[in-house]
Structure 1
Amino acid sequence: MKTRLPCEFFLIRYVPDVVKGEFTNIGVLLREAGRDDTAVLRFTRDWSRVRCVDAAADTEMLEALEVEIGARLRTSATDIKPVMQVLEDTLANSLQITEPRACLAESIPAELNQLMRMYVEPIKVKTTRLRTGRAAITAAMRSEFETAGVWPLMRKRITASLYTAPGDPMKLDCGYRPNGVIRIFHAVSLEGDLEAAKVLAFSAPQLIEGIARIEQAKLELTAIVEPARQLDDETTDSYRFGVETMQRQSIRVMTVADLPRIAETARVELRL
């Protein structure tokens, strides 16, 4: 029988009103017992529970915080205390962390998935409704990159204004630099609203020029969209227009079905 790793985990809780004491679990911090250098953090990708307790919750800020904490974990691997302090001090105690709990794990990734299912993620109810839109695409992107083990190594919510112009509000979903090329991936839903495709196409030339100037690298910008087969016949022309609009600006357009191959390429290029 394979020896299990003695581990300990902490639950990260969102507490919108510390007086009422109501909370919902939003993440898990897991590490091997006594080994700060193995610590990993994951937040939920489904914020429905948070919105139930706080309709005005800033989920984008929480997602950005996960990225920040993950980066601190990698740079402060020998001492987890600064990371814990950031969590405890964030949002005037709106984020809280539990005392450590012991567990035995087959592996850190497998145990993290199990703990997320047990304590954080909402129970999935079978439904015939098709999940669509940008949120579904971004969730699929993250899931595939996590499965490949590359998500922690990728840049997230990349600020476009670094490469375009001050004031540009665009945040690009994620990317990495394996060599002289920067690969950036951005979810674009072509269902009903083509504005996102047009905005990305408009921004592409400035992004390409800015990355060449600042990073001395070539940009490979990929838009991840829904497969055309999931769309109604009435939207076929709009879908094609969105794809062609982006392709004319040297944006590579791929679908959710291509994500496993994209993630595997990232795994190889990042040498995992």
Structure 2
Amino acid sequence: MSTRKQCDFYLVRYVPDPVRNEFVNIGVLLRDVAQPEQITVNFTKDWARVRCIDPDVDVAMLESLESELRRRLAHQGSDATPLMRVFEDSFSTGLQITEPRAYLAESMIAGVEELMRLFVEPRKRQASARKTGRQAIQAKMRSQFERAGVWDLMRKRISVSRYTKTGDPLRIDCGYRPNGLIRMFHAVSLDSDTEWPKVLAFSVESIREGVARIENAELELTAIVEPIVEVSADREDVERVEQYRFSVETMEEQDIRVITTNDLPRMAETAQREFRL
């Protein structure tokens, strides 16, 4: 049996009103005690609990803080002492970090995943097996990019108005640029997001033209969907099967690459090679 790593973990809390002292755990920091410069950070992808205590929360800001926190911690060196100071000096009073607690982890990634289930996203212990839709695909996509070490290097929530017209509300989940090609990725649930294939098919040509004009690059847009068996386990459900195939064909006719969540590890490996990690 493999030896577990001795670690310390910290919980990141969102505290919208310090006077009322209500908080929600939104993330975990895990540090290897033997190699204190090795820190893994993960924030929640489900902001429902945060919205319960603060309906006006700026989710985009909180999501951006995860990458910012990783960058700052990566430059603090091996001294564990300044971690609390780095956090307190760098971020608003709306965020707090707990004192460290001891933890034995099989690995840094496995440890963070377990701590997230225990302290940040406890509902996933019951709901994860049945989780469906675009949010589930997004979570799987992000998880694979994180495992490949490229998530923090990618652009997120890419506003296409830069390439099309002012006011265009469409945002693509993430992307990056290897050489003269821009790869963009968007989660599309063919079980619940029935309009998304048409939206992407309608928009992609103007996005492609804008990318060529502004970035002097080609665009490869990839839609990530569920395998057909997750949408229709019953092969006799002809209507759902036909709808699934129609959606895929609608996107592919506009040169949108369509892959399923089963292909995500291979996609992440490609990104890892292209980032030369």
TM-score (norm. length: structure 2): 0.79
Aligned residue runs from structure 1 range 1-272, under 5 A: 8-31=8-31, 38-54=38-54, 57-70=57-70, 84-87=88-91, 89=92, 93-101=93-101, 108-126=108-126, 130-232=130-232, 233=237, 234-272=239-277
* Secondary structure, counterpart of 1:22 in structure 2: coil
8 Å CA contact 1:175, 1:182 repeated in 2: yes
* Secondary structure, counterpart of 1:25 in structure 2: strand
Structure 1's 36 and 170: CA in aligned 2 closer, same or farther, altered over 3 A?
farther
Q: List per-residue Cα deviations over 1:139-183 (Å, max 9, x = no partner).
A: 111122222222222221112122222212221111122222111
Q: Give structure 2 stretches of 5+ with no counterpart.
A: none
8 Å CA contact 1:157, 1:171 repeated in 2: yes
Distance 1:20 1:169 in 2: 36
Report how far residue 17 of structure 1 moved: 3.5
Distance 2:269 2:61 in 1: 29
Report how far residue 265 of structure 1 moved: 1.7
Q: Give structure 1 stretches of 5+ with no counterpart.
A: none
Distance 1:97 1:134 in 2: 30
CA RMSD of aligned residues (A): 3.2
Bigger mean CA deviation after superposition, 77-86 or 226-235: 77-86
Report how far residue 270 of structure 1 moved: 1.9
Report how far residue 255 of structure 1 moved: 1.0
Structure 1's 193 and 4: CA in aligned 2 closer, same or farther, altered over 3 A?
closer
Spell out structure 1 runs of 4+ moving beyond 6 A.
1-6, 33-37
* Secondary structure, counterpart of 2:89 in structure 1: helix
Identical-residue share of aligned pairs (%):
57
Question: Which amino acid in structure 2 is aligned with residue 244 of structure 1?
Answer: E
Distance 2:229 2:256 in 1: 21
8 Å CA contact 2:224, 2:260 repeated in 1: yes
Structure 1's 247 and 77: CA in aligned 2 closer, same or farther, altered over 3 A?
farther
TM-score (norm. length: structure 1): 0.80
Structure 1's 218 and 236: CA in aligned 2 closer, same or farther, altered over 3 A?
same
